[in-house]
Structure 1
Amino acid sequence: MKELFIKGKDWLEARKLWDVFTYVFFGGLTTLVNVGVFAGATHGGLSWQIANFLAWLLSVLFAFVTNKLWVFNSHTENLSALGWEFSKFIIARVASLGIDYGFMLLFIQSWGMNETVAKILTQFAIVAANYVFSKFVIFK
């Protein structure tokens, strides 16, 4: 199994796709955190607006750690550099939160879509935007 993993990783790295693969993998896990928290919070009685923010907050913290350590292998020299990297990450994620709320408003209030279905569909745009922010702005 380990041999297969190494061959697959080498193949992806040779084509400069390893970052994309790990981002999609950990992005999928981040999406599960986001949708899971959202669904749990809305089913627990919170409004979709508050549930969406809570889901965003917890998934951002999860995503920062996984992106830093395993997707982009970012190494910072000191606490100040880590703080700057985290600040850029938060700023980019606030921008994607705006995209998230925009789509959620459109899907739920304008189109009458189920909240959880809207949340799942919104994640496609969020994952793409966050990859671009992370790859070219934050962990370059």
Structure 2
Amino acid sequence: MKNQIKAFFDNEILSYLFFGGATTLVSILSRLVIYRISHQEILATILANIIGILFAFITNDTIVFKQKRKNWLIRLVKFFLARLSTLGLDVLLTYIFVTSYPDIIGQFVNDQLDQVNAIETLIAQVLIIILNYIFSKVYVFYK
């Protein structure tokens, strides 16, 4: 069993997907909790992204892309810059589908804003995982 787990995490794609899923879970839970407390969708989106970015950098740097400790600060800066673009996408999607036009999704959930926010969050996270892998592989953690 230990060898199977090691083999799983030695596969870059599988490892990335696992930690991408974990990052998504961390981001979604953070966002929903922050939104529940504050009822500020943009604030919840930004804070959840920051939490997710820190979690993702630590797991990607050490486990997925197996980087040496050297130059970690440069990678962290590049990682944050790359993730700012997906943060921008996330904020834009939140602004469009939750803040400005909640009826687009709301028509399917009786216009309940909490559910609109949750659905938009899931949709955005799928796009973000794909883009973040591309940015990480090409821009941040290349060998």
Q: Which residue of 2 aligns with 1:117?
A: 119
Aligned-residue Cα RMSD (Å) equals 1.8
The alignment partner of 1:73 has SS state of coil
Unaligned 5+ residue runs, structure 2? Answer: 106-115
For 1:92 and 1:85, how far apart are their aligned partners in 2?
Answer: 10
Give the structure 1 partner of residue 14 of structure 2. 21
Determine whether 1:88 maps to 2:78.
yes
Question: Which blocks of at least 5 consecutive residues in structure 1 are unaligned?
Answer: none
> Shift of residue 19 of structure 1?
1.2
Within-5 A mapping of 1:1-140: 1-5=1-5, 9=8, 18-77=11-70, 81-108=71-98, 109-112=100-103, 113=105, 114-140=116-142
Contact 2:46–2:91 under 8 Å retained in 1: no
Count of aligned residue pairs for this structure pair: 130
**Identity rate, percent:** 29
CA displacement, residues 21-49 of structure 1 (integer Å, 9 cap, x when unaligned): 11110000100110001110111123000
TM-score by structure 1 length? Answer: 0.85
